[in-house]
């Protein structure tokens, strides 16, 4: 059974058309948009055989729930996403690199984390089903297509999932300001799962205790912590830098 929901914004809709056009049921385009970007989208939809409905701005505002939609939205089937972590891990040929988000509730942060995950070749993003934002239209828009390319897997028990990763030989590393090991001192070359905590709260106690190791990002200024999406980008960049070297 299809799980239909709405996504909006040019990046989110065009990425879905490009990568999973069979999941796009229909596209809504603001009738007075006649610029090149809109024309390209209409052409792409026609090539993929996707129905396009021209609507006025007021209706599009209502469909998008007041969010900035850029004159385009689409109704898509969200049931086709990768559902199980095993589906990813059992088919990997590269050294695993995973991102675990412990209770990220801000959709802009999740979207930005997904963009970093896509940029640095993360094989899957893992998050708890509860106390987390999940993939919604805002996340898709901020992710600029990364929500379609990076498997996003929700789990019931995060600590148990971390232990399952450890049983597979994946080193589970949490980012924490109070850690004694610095990011550039830590060796990133083996199978790795980065664990980053929620905005303001950091890692939960059980998550922290389950990690194999805690690592801190060196801070030289007066601020005590960084936004979770910024921290994600820094940690993933350093991992890829070391692996490339």
Tokens 């963009």 map to which residue?
Answer: 115
pLDDT value of residue 231: 95
Q: How far is CA 16 from the centre of its chain?
A: 14
Which pTM does this prediction carry?
A: 0.74
Q: Which residue has the higher pLDDT, 57 or 194?
A: 194
**69 has pLDDT over 80:** yes
Q: What is the pLDDT of residue 79?
A: 64
66 marked as part of a ligand binding site: no
Q: Quickly state the pLDDT bin for 85 (edges 50, 70, 90).
A: confident
177 is in an annotated binding site: no
- Residue-wise pLDDT for 156-182, tens only, equals 999 999 999 999 999 999 999 889 999
Find out whether 203 is annotated in a ligand binding site.
Answer: no
The larger pLDDT score, comparing residue 201 to residue 113, is at 113
Residue 141's alpha-carbon distances to 75, 105, 111, in angstroms, are 14, 16, 7
Q: How far is residue 47's CA from residue 74's CA, in Å, rounded to a whole number?
A: 16
What are the C-alpha distances in Å from 166 to residues 93, 103, 193? 18, 20, 9
Q: Which helix (H) or strand (E) holds 237?
A: helix 228-244
Structural domains in the chain plus CATH codes = 4-77 (3.30.1330.30), 85-244 (3.40.1280.10)
């Amino acid at each position: 059974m299809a799980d239909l929901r709405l996504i909006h914004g040019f990046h989110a809709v065009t990425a879905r058309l490009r990568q999973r056009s069979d999941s796009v049921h229909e596209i809504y385009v603001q009738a007075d948009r006649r610029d090149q970007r809109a024309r390209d989208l209409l052409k792409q939809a026609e090539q993929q055989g996707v129905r396009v409905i021209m609507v006025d701005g007021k209706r599009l505002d209502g469909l998008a729930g007041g969010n900035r939609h850029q004159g385009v939205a689409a109704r898509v089937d969200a049931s086709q996403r990768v559902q199980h972590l095993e589906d990813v891990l059992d088919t990997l040929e590269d050294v695993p690199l995973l991102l675990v988000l412990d209770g990220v509730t801000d959709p802009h942060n999740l979207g930005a984390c997904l963009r970093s995950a896509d940029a640095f070749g993360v094989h899957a993003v893992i998050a708890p089903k509860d106390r987390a934002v999940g993939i919604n239209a805002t996340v898709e828009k901020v992710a600029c297509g990364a929500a379609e390319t990076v498997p996003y897997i929700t789990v019931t028990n995060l600590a148990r999932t971390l232990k399952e990763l450890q049983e597979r030989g994946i080193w589970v590393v949490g980012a924490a300001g109070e850690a004694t090991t610095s990011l550039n001192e830590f060796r990133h070359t083996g199978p790795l799962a980065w664990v980053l905590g929620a905005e303001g709260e950091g890692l939960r106690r059980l998550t922290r205790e389950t990690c194999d190791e805690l690592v801190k990002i060196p801070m030289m200024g007066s601020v005590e912590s960084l936004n979770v999406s910024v921290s994600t980008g820094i940690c993933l960049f350093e991992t890829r830098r070391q692996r490339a070297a």
